[in-house]
Amino acid sequence: MRARLATTVGGAAGRLSRLAGRGDGSVIGGRIGLWLEPDLLSMLAAGRQVILVTGTNGKTTTTRLITAGLGALGQAVASNGFGANMEEGLAAALGQAPNAPYAVLEVDEKYLPRVIRATAPRVVVLLNLSRDQMDRAAEIWLLARRWRDAFGGVPGMRVVANADDPLVAWAAASAASVTWVSAGQRWREDSWCCPQCGSHLRRDGDDWRCGECSCARPRVSWVLDGGKVIDSAGRAHELDLALPGRANRANAVVALAVVEVFGITVAQALPRLREVTSVAGRYTQVERRGRPLRLLLAKNPAGWLEAFDVVDPPPTPIVLAVNAQEPDGRDTSWLWDVDYRVLRGRRVFVTGERRLDLAVRLEADGIGFELVDGIDDAVDRVEGRLDVLANYTAFQQIRATLGRVS
Ligand SMILES: [Zn+2]
């Protein structure tokens, strides 16, 4: 009864917030609901098959791909598809789909243990773990240890984890049941040391092992192999996604491993994954003043590295937009962790509230750039297509300028 009241009041607040033009309203609705009923999340999750998705990068896209794949079951699926990934966003997503027997929820890395306790998930997905805007190596190790502690003692829970990320593999190893996926690890700066004993990790391609203790890459059952996925029975399938880049192919392999837990085959899921063309505005192609633009979001060093894999080759010009508001992290020193030399040979436009910080960084890498006053200023300076790469709030501002593209 209280859960219903909390959901109803929360939903009404969400609608009011939407009418007032304050975003999609889901977060405020969930916040009020949780204030009325602190156990709202566990009440709303009860009786459903819940899948939680976490990691530093790829959460939103993987959540979307799993949701698409689960569509093969022909049942309703609740999901926080727009990335509101703390408790209020999760409660709102469940409250908006009260009859959905399945829920695919993106969860902020720090909240995972608490959300596991509240939702008793069927599957937990661990993508990767690397430094975010604010976190450094010690903090992400602590995070991995908290995950590790949270996985023991949840009956019937399956973890689907990226075996190529040593921190993730170490955290997942405490779970009773794990599906190991070789999803690759592009960014390795945060995993030179063994998570178990601190010794140097030995690497050979994707393989890794500790020289001092037994910590080593587990045997994988799903593999991303170039443009193909090799499934748990050893069969290869062409991925052929609409979403660009290696990181998204890796997310798709993880999604296929997850839906297999629910009896969905690769042949059933893949056509549905291919229908996903953009995720909450990311990868969207839009036209602005006659020029085609593509929007890419990247929030941290590993994300920028993966986004550079996706951008068109030179001479396609690129806009880089950086802010340092609360959700981005106030400190822009992470910009120094990214290697920008791949941008040589193209025009680079720099914008955003912290464009000067980025300009100094580009200068150090010897990359020529032009400072611009926002996206339209850049658009006016080019003839053809343009890639746009932005961090979190800079991305939202550009979306707003372009008219809330989806
Ligand atoms: Zn070790």
Per-residue model confidence as pLDDT tens digits over 259-283: 999 999 999 999 999 999 988 888 8
Sheet of strand 49-54, all strands in order from the earlier edge strand to the far edge: 77-79, 102-106, 49-54, 123-126, 158-162, 177-182, 222-225, 228-230, 236-238
Summarize pLDDT for 157-183 with one digit per residue, the tens: 999 999 999 999 999 999 999 999 999
Q: Residue 291 Cα, ligand 1 centroid: separation in angstroms?
A: 52
More confident residue, 11 or 186: 186
- Other CB atoms within 10 A of residue 139 CB: 13
User: Model-level pTM greater than 0.85?
Assistant: yes
Q: Residue 214 Cα, ligand 1 centroid: separation in angstroms?
A: 6
Strand ranges, E, within 70-153: 77-79, 102-106, 123-126
pLDDT of residue 280: 81
Q: Which two tokens stand for residue 258?
A: 């997850």
Q: Which residue carries 């984890």 as its tokens?
A: 161
pLDDT of residue 138: 73
Summarize pLDDT for 85-94 with one digit per residue, the tens: 888 899 989 9
Angle at 115 between CA 136 and CA 52, to 5 degrees: 85
Q: Residue 202 Cα, ligand 1 centroid: separation in angstroms?
A: 10
Q: Residue 193 Cα, ligand 1 centroid: separation in angstroms?
A: 8
Q: Residue 384 Cα, ligand 1 centroid: separation in angstroms?
A: 51
Q: Residue 92 Cα, ligand 1 centroid: separation in angstroms?
A: 42
* pLDDT confidence tier of residue 384, bands split at 50, 70 and 90: very high
Q: Residue 213 Cα, ligand 1 centroid: separation in angstroms?
A: 4
Summarize pLDDT for 97-153 with one digit per residue, the tens: 989 999 999 999 999 999 999 999 999 999 999 887 655 667 889 999 999 999 987
Q: Residue 216 Cα, ligand 1 centroid: separation in angstroms?
A: 8
Q: What number is the average pLDDT over the span 71-76? A: 97
pLDDT of residue 173: 95
Q: Residue 199 Cα, ligand 1 centroid: separation in angstroms?
A: 5
Q: Which two tokens stand for residue 3?
A: 């859960």
Q: Residue 115 Cα, ligand 1 centroid: separation in angstroms?
A: 29
Q: Residue 195 Cα, ligand 1 centroid: separation in angstroms?
A: 7
* pLDDT confidence tier of residue 83, bands split at 50, 70 and 90: confident
Checking if the pLDDT of 8 tops 80, the result is no
CA distance 275 to 314: 28
Q: Residue 23 Cα, ligand 1 centroid: separation in angstroms?
A: 46
pLDDT of residue 368: 95
